[in-house]
Amino acid sequence: MKNSKDVVVLVGSGSIGQAIARRVGAGDHIVLADLRQEAADSAAKILEDAGFEISTITVDISSRDSILKLIEHAQQFGQIKNLINAAGVSPSQAPVNAILKVDLYGTAVLIEEFGKVIADGGSGVIISSQSGHRLGTLSEEENYKLATSPTEELLNLDFIKAITDTLKAYQYSKRCNGLRVMYEATAWGKRGATINAISPGIIITPLANDELHGPRKDGYLKMIEASPAGRAGTPDEVGDLAAFLMSSHGRFINGADFLIDGGTTASYWFGDLQYLKATH
């Protein structure tokens, strides 16, 4: 090992992942992994300028081999104490197959493989989405299969292969994230570690800002204004929640999925945002 520090692995170099890493990575070695090297380098520069020790690596979480190479790289620096997964693709960014391979299968493999190496006292946080909470009730069999199927069989489940819509692919993926976190909590717990999911609503990031100034801005602004909070969230608010879950204060929390959406999902089902159901 190069210097045997605790290691924080951040997958996905966006604003939310950076906000979490800033809160849990001081004094540790942060491995910043992204599909695009230029994105990893850009985020690394920001964090290095703020005093953090960083190394970067490219990773494609839809590939188990790529994930294993990420783990091998991280272990050069010490024991893996924290996993932050903020990687993913949205319904407007990618086709159905890509969403399912990255957001559903890739995330499940990431949780599985890091669960084999996570340090005692360690913790993982998976950034999911409020979209997983907008999917209607699944059958008990569907829930069980999403939670417990061997990772290599997930994309071959009949009801997953039947998905043709990108939003549905995203919603099923995010529902699966929460279920895999519940399933893998047992294995993580046996290593003295915790694994939880966070499901943000609309959080102001560069990508979200583009949407709020783009052709669909009116719909987004209406949804935000009609939500109980009456505003969008910030990466720092998600970071604060993640920091709590990954700290000594969160050790009794394992296998959970936390909505942080300003009450938007509550309003979607029962409040002023029920009109959205017709479009979802």
CATH number assigned to the domain comprising residue 132 = 3.40.50.720
Both structure tokens of 228: 């109980």
Catalytic residue among 145, 174, 183, 268: 174
Distance between CA 227 and CA 97 in Å, rounded? 32
Tens-digit pLDDT profile for the chain (280 aa)? 555 799 999 999 999 999 999 999 999 999 999 999 999 999 999 999 999 999 999 999 999 999 999 999 999 999 999 999 999 998 888 999 999 999 999 999 999 999 999 999 999 999 999 999 999 999 999 999 999 999 999 999 999 999 999 999 999 999 999 999 999 999 999 999 999 999 999 999 887 887 788 777 888 899 899 999 999 999 999 999 999 999 999 999 999 999 999 999 999 999 999 999 876 6
Amino acid at 84: I
Give the domain extent around 108. 7-208+236-264
**Structural domain contains residue 127:** yes
**Structural domain contains residue 273:** no
Residue 199, strand partner residues: 259
CB 203 within 8 A of CB 130: no
What is the count of structural domains for the chain?
A: 1
User: For the sheet containing 80-85, what is the strand order?
Assistant: 53-58, 29-34, 7-11, 80-85, 123-127, 194-200, 257-260
User: How far is Cα of residue 230 from the mean position of the Cα atoms in its chain?
Assistant: 24
Distance between CA 183 and CA 149 in Å, rounded? 10
**Structural domain contains residue 223:** no
Distance between CA 158 and CA 72 in Å, rounded? 34
Catalytic residue among 81, 101, 145, 170: 170
CB-based contacts of 151: which residues, under 8 Å, 6+ apart? Answer: 64, 105, 108, 109, 112
For 119, which DSSP code?
P
Active site residue 116: no
**Structural domain contains residue 27:** yes
**Structural domain contains residue 196:** yes
Residue 9, strand partner residues: 31, 83
**Structural domain contains residue 166:** yes
**Structural domain contains residue 155:** yes
For position 90, what pLDDT does the model report?
86
Distance between CA 189 and CA 177 in Å, rounded? 17
**Structural domain contains residue 32:** yes
Active site residue 170: yes
CB 63 within 8 A of CB 87: no
